[in-house]
Amino acid sequence: MALITLTTDFGLSDPFVGIMKGVIAARAPGVPIIDVTHGVLPQQVLAGALVLQAAVPYFPPGTIHLAVVDPGVGGPRRPLCIETARGFLVGPDNGLLSLAAGDDTVRRIVHLTDERVFLAPRSHTFHGRDVFAPVAAALATGIPAAALGTEVSAFDRLSIPVVDVTERLLHGQVIYVDHFGNLATNVRLEHLRPWPGRRLTITVGGTRVDGLSATYGAVAAGEPLALVNSWGLLEIAVRDGSARATTGAQPGTPVVVEVGE
Amino acid sequence: MALITLTTDFGLSDPFVGIMKGVIAARAPGVPIIDVTHGVLPQQVLAGALVLQAAVPYFPPGTIHLAVVDPGVGGPRRPLCIETARGFLVGPDNGLLSLAAGDDTVRRIVHLTDERVFLAPRSHTFHGRDVFAPVAAALATGIPAAALGTEVSAFDRLSIPVVDVTERLLHGQVIYVDHFGNLATNVRLEHLRPWPGRRLTITVGGTRVDGLSATYGAVAAGEPLALVNSWGLLEIAVRDGSARATTGAQPGTPVVVEVGE
Amino acid sequence: MALITLTTDFGLSDPFVGIMKGVIAARAPGVPIIDVTHGVLPQQVLAGALVLQAAVPYFPPGTIHLAVVDPGVGGPRRPLCIETARGFLVGPDNGLLSLAAGDDTVRRIVHLTDERVFLAPRSHTFHGRDVFAPVAAALATGIPAAALGTEVSAFDRLSIPVVDVTERLLHGQVIYVDHFGNLATNVRLEHLRPWPGRRLTITVGGTRVDGLSATYGAVAAGEPLALVNSWGLLEIAVRDGSARATTGAQPGTPVVVEVGE
């Protein structure tokens, strides 16, 4: 059975997401729709790409992932469907789909050009409703991606900022702040593997944390800690509190990891 | 297959919406439920009516639209089902359903009086749970609207504030502010049709915009623009920003459109 | 047909809830999932327990209620499934499930220990994804609770703060504040039954309300009122306003009910 997921920066206070679901329900009746999130910060393409990359592996093969964080809607950026070994990624060609696609075997990249599938008239401001929802519904009813446009050879790639490693110092940054105020960084478990058993000291926004914890409960309430989070990223948190509030950090804030002797 | 949508001002931080869905799941098992939005500003009936009007056309015929923005719950206002050519509108008779109903052919207006359908005991404060969810579930299982109460001849109508047109000046107002801070006005595409090709100057809250853009990307970042939005309404936006923050406007703030020579 | 509900403090701005749904969709395809709420205040176990207690009675028998408000994730607290006459409660053994379970006949308490059901590798920080979603999916596919771990004889119980009754004075407190700013208290309808027809005066945070109203519309706009809400709790509200804003009250704020002569 087909399954569609939605990831946007539309929020839930307006009817935009509901309207997209109406379009899907009208064109692909009975197909289940799951919200990944609609709380991506407005127009933050990197945050949307990270969210999609984190979510896709947990869905069944063949799932159709529709994503819209699209500051260039109505402009020259192409609407895209990337077919991978895992399923389909549908959205604007602005890097949003690239981290999820990059984790996987890409089978086909389709520039969505078949206007017969789109809603008519098509607005310049709401392609989630007029372009991407109809395309997701078409895929869900079994229309092949290749039939929805022109195959192209590449898509816009977005890269996570690189971690700078010099001697025993790693210079990274905060790349995602969650609802609890936890600070996820671009420092991955793999970056830390060369130094097994060494003491790490993590500094972000004036807050210094000694060592990695296994759980949020490993320190006293109100104390900061660092751990490798559920996405495999180094994260700074505050037990029963908010590391965002404590450190003032936000996406882009530098993080330094010092490897002990 | 039946389909139920929900539009309320209940927010998502409490279990109210989940409880309504529980009532529907218990009485109409397997019927899909789609949230239009639960983020209508508390007790803003006009905002709820606009949202419902914008969403209904995108859903399949026969959809049951349950809406609750109901400051008068428990008082004399009637619970209503309006059956139209498109489907069913279920909610309080306070104008909330009237804009969506007004766009369509009304077939039947039913004052919901059959207490056997309601939850018992029925609270005075949560008719979404006790009255409207059971009614939507009954409709979804095929019970005709006429069987749920008494036919009546009229419903409370809410009107969008009128645009005042004098010579080459249109005086309107902001009627809806979305999650991005975009300002939708009561000036419709139709209001602008008499002056094709003329230069328009739009003023709201001290901000002045020259001309209409086709897309949000047509101006530089941080600059204001005006366009006809996906609902067919004149909208003031700020590229990669918030027109609400820039102009201080909110629903009711005057908007002036000047038509050039 | 199986049905799964979700109640968490994860919020909707991150992909956490979507990822849990992905795990369920992969392991129990086609099983409907209903959100009770994800807006429980972070790590407020009592608020989560109240929400679950309020919602469970409205769902069909056999429903699987998955709840996660889990400040001790990864620590020694046990993952639990409580099977009752109504259905299944799945979540951490920290009191979160206890109010809902306490309203019902408990048939079986299972310490969830069968690691073959969990996601592997299992994180220390996201048991909603790695432990509880797989368990809910397993139950939804018909695996008996008893097969998922070890039966135990008790679970952690959380109690609602007791109302202190002396002569004609009831000393209670605010236990839940909703989206509208309404203040629900631990004073139940049953506490008020011994004094039928007597005038009640309710005081919270310097605001004094005389008498109980039947509906929110019973007083003038902006005026405070008290009523027995849809959960059977004494509630203080402000018509067309917010009692939280008016009184400054929050969970824990004392409430005094004086019974007149």
- Per the structure block, which two tokens stand in for A34? 């799951």
Alpha carbon distances (Å) from C261 to A148, C188, C196:
77, 21, 11
| A80 close to A111: Cβ distance less than 8 angstroms | yes
A118 at B interface, C-beta within 8 A: no
Number of CB pairs, chain A paired with chain C, less than 8 A apart: 98
Residue-level pLDDT at A102: 87
Residue-level pLDDT at C167: 83
Residue-level pLDDT at A252: 94
Residue-level pLDDT at C229: 92
A contacts of B51 (beta carbons < 8 Å): 14-15
Neighbours of chain C (3+ CB pairs under 8 A): A, B
Q: What is the pLDDT of residues C26-36, one digit of tens each?
A: 999 999 999 99
Q: What is the pLDDT of residues A73-87, one digit of tens each?
A: 888 899 999 999 999
B contacts of A74 (beta carbons < 8 Å): 214-217
Q: What is the pLDDT of residues C147-165, one digit of tens each?
A: 999 999 999 999 888 999 9
How many CB atoms are located within 10 Å of the residue A236 CB? 28
Residue-level pLDDT at C33: 98
A232 at C interface, C-beta within 8 A: no
| Mutation target vs B (from A14, A20, A35, A77; most B CBs, 10 A cutoff) | A14
| B187 close to B236: Cβ distance less than 8 angstroms | no
Q: What is the residue type of B257? A: V
- Per the structure block, which two tokens stand in for C173? 């407190």
Q: In what order do the strands lie in the sheet with B106-112?
A: B33-37, B4-8, B63-68, B87-92, B79-84, B106-112, B149-152
Q: How do B207-210 and B164-166 pair as beta strands?
A: unpaired
What is the b/e burial string over A138-155, where b = at least 16 CB atoms within 10 angstroms of the residue's CB? Answer: bbbeeeebeebbeeeeeb
CB contact under 8 Å between C22 and A216, yes or no, is no
Percentage of residues in chain B with pLDDT exceeding 90? 82
How far is it, in rounded angstroms, from Cα A119 to Cα A133? 9
Q: What is the pLDDT of residues C228-243, one digit of tens each?
A: 998 889 999 999 899 9
How far is it, in rounded angstroms, from Cα C89 to Cα B29? 20
Nearest to B15 among C51, C60, C214 (CB): C51
Nearest to B39 among A12, A74, A124 (CB): A12
How far is it, in rounded angstroms, from Cα A61 to Cα A63? 6
Residue-level pLDDT at A196: 83
Neighbours of chain B (3+ CB pairs under 8 A): A, C
C contacts of B30 (beta carbons < 8 Å): 1, 32
Alpha carbon distances (Å) from A41 to A70, B240, B241, C22, C37:
12, 12, 12, 22, 21
Whole-structure pTM value: 0.95
- Mean pLDDT, residues C73-97: 95
pLDDT at C101 over 90: yes
Task: Report the mean per-residue pLDDT for chain B.
Answer: 94
How far is it, in rounded angstroms, from Cα C234 to Cα C163? 12
Q: What is the pLDDT of residues B28-62, one digit of tens each?
A: 999 999 999 999 998 899 999 999 999 999 999 99
How many CB atoms are located within 10 Å of the residue C17 CB? 24
DSSP state of A131: I
Residue-level pLDDT at B261: 78
- Taking alpha carbons only, the member of B195, B179, A200, A255 closest to residue B187 is B195
Percentage of residues in chain C with pLDDT exceeding 90? 82
A contacts of C22 (beta carbons < 8 Å): 5, 34, 36, 55, 58-60, 63
As a residue count, chain B comes to: 261
CB contact under 8 Å between C1 and B72, yes or no, is no
Instruction: Tell me chain C's radius of gyration from C-alpha atoms.
Output: 20
CA distance C162 to chain B (A): 23
C55 at B interface, C-beta within 8 A: yes
C129 at A interface, C-beta within 8 A: yes
Chain A 31-50, residues with CB within 8 Å of chain B CB atoms: 32-33, 42-43
Three-state DSSP state, A191 = helix
DSSP state of A122: P
B73 at C interface, C-beta within 8 A: yes
CB contact under 8 Å between C60 and B26, yes or no, is yes
Q: What is the 3-state secondary structure (H, E, C) of chain B?
A: CCCEEEEECCCCCCCHHHHHHHHHHHHCCCCCEEEEECCCCCCCHHHHHHHHHHHHHHCCCCEEEEEECCCCCCCCCCEEEEEECCEEEEEECCCCCHHHHHCCCEEEEEEECCCCCCCCCCCCCCHHHHHHHHHHHHHHCCCCHHHHEEEECCCCCCCCCCCEEECCEEEEEEEEECCCCCEEEEEEHHHHCCCCCCCEEEEECCEEEECCCCCHHHCCCCCEEEEECCCCEEEEEECCCCHHHHHCCCCCCEEEEEECC
Q: How do B169-177 and B164-166 pair as beta strands?
A: antiparallel
Q: What is the 3-state secondary structure (H, E, C) of chain C?
A: CCCEEEEECCCCCCCHHHHHHHHHHHHCCCCCEEEEECCCCCCCHHHHHHHHHHHHHHCCCCEEEEEECCCCCCCCCCEEEEEECCEEEEEECCCCCHHHHHCCCEEEEEEECCCCCCCCCCCCCCHHHHHHHHHHHHHHCCCCHHHHEEEECCCCCCCCCCCEEECCEEEEEEEEECCCCCEEEEEEHHHHCCCCCCCEEEEECCEEEECCCCCHHHCCCCCEEEEECCCCEEEEEECCCCHHHHHCCCCCCEEEEEECC
Percentage of residues in chain B with pLDDT exceeding 70? 100
Give the residues of chain A that fall short of pLDDT 50.
none
CB contact under 8 Å between A125 and B60, yes or no, is no
B62 at A interface, C-beta within 8 A: no
B140 at A interface, C-beta within 8 A: no
- Kindly indicate the confidence band of residue C91, based on its pLDDT and cuts at 50, 70 and 90: very high
Q: What is the residue type of A126? A: F
CB contact under 8 Å between C12 and A36, yes or no, is no
- Per the structure block, which two tokens stand in for C156? 């952690």
Residue-level pLDDT at A159: 81
Three-state DSSP state, A215 = coil
- Mean pLDDT, residues C117-142: 96
Q: What is the pLDDT of residues B175-190, one digit of tens each?
A: 999 999 999 999 998 9
Cα angle: B13, vertex B19, B21; to 5 degrees: 105
A22 at B interface, C-beta within 8 A: yes
C contacts of B11 (beta carbons < 8 Å): 39, 179
- Mean pLDDT, residues C105-112: 96
CB contact under 8 Å between B179 and A73, yes or no, is no
- Phi (first) and psi of residue B151, to 5 degrees: -70, 140
Alpha carbon distances (Å) from A101 to A80, A131, A249, C43, C189:
12, 20, 29, 34, 56
pLDDT at B104 over 80: no
Q: Which run of H or E residues covers position A24?
A: helix A16-27
A contacts of B59 (beta carbons < 8 Å): 22, 25-26
Q: Which run of H or E residues covers position A192?
A: helix A189-192
| C75 close to C82: Cβ distance less than 8 angstroms | no
pLDDT at B125 over 80: yes
C contacts of A34 (beta carbons < 8 Å): 18, 21-22, 25, 33
CA distance B31 to chain C (A): 10
How many CB atoms are located within 10 Å of the residue C169 CB? 11
B120 at A interface, C-beta within 8 A: no
| A182 close to A237: Cβ distance less than 8 angstroms | yes
| Mutation target vs C (from B16, B20, B73, B179; most C CBs, 10 A cutoff) | B16
CB contact under 8 Å between B125 and C35, yes or no, is no
How far is it, in rounded angstroms, from Cα B36 to Cα B4? 10
CB contact under 8 Å between B215 and A75, yes or no, is yes
- Per the structure block, which two tokens stand in for B26? 């218990």
How far is it, in rounded angstroms, from Cα C251 to Cα B217? 46
How far is it, in rounded angstroms, from Cα B237 to Cα C36? 35
CB contact under 8 Å between B179 and A23, yes or no, is no
How far is it, in rounded angstroms, from Cα C240 to Cα B7? 19
- Mean pLDDT, residues B114-123: 94
pLDDT at B95 over 90: yes
Residue-level pLDDT at A167: 82
| Mutation target vs A (from C21, C34, C45; most A CBs, 10 A cutoff) | C21
- What secondary structure does DSSP assign to A137-183, as a single string? HHHHTT--GGGGEEEES------PPPPEEETTEEEEEEEEE-TT--E
Residue-level pLDDT at B130: 97
